[in-house]
Amino acid sequence: MTSGAERLPGALARRLACWPRAARDLALRWLTRQRQRRHLHAVSDHVLKDIGLSRADIEREARKGFWRE
């Protein structure tokens, strides 16, 4: 008996087979982005000035959803 994936065209079968990895990679990217924004929000105004950012820049970035770049 053959599985459903074996009856699919090769490219589609490969895409379906790798979706768990793609979902994991996306979730990790979202977590990393959220963590980076949280850390940036905690940086002092002095350090922000050194790197050329304002508190308003950081507030705007922190308000973005984790899924947004």
Task: For residue range 10-58, list pLDDT tens digits in order.
Answer: 777 777 778 888 899 999 999 999 999 999 889 999 999 999 999 999 9
In the structure encoding, which two tokens stand for residue 43, read together? Answer: 């940086």
1 located within any domain: no
**Contact of 20 with 28, CB cutoff 8 Å:** no
The Cα–Cα gap between 25 and 52 comes to 31
Cβ neighbours of residue 69 closer than 8 Å, sequence gap 6 or more: 33
Whole-prediction pTM value? 0.64
24 located within any domain: yes
Is residue 65's pLDDT more than 90? Answer: no
Range of the domain at 25: 8-63
Q: How many domains does the structure of the chain reveal? A: 1
68 located within any domain: no
3 located within any domain: no
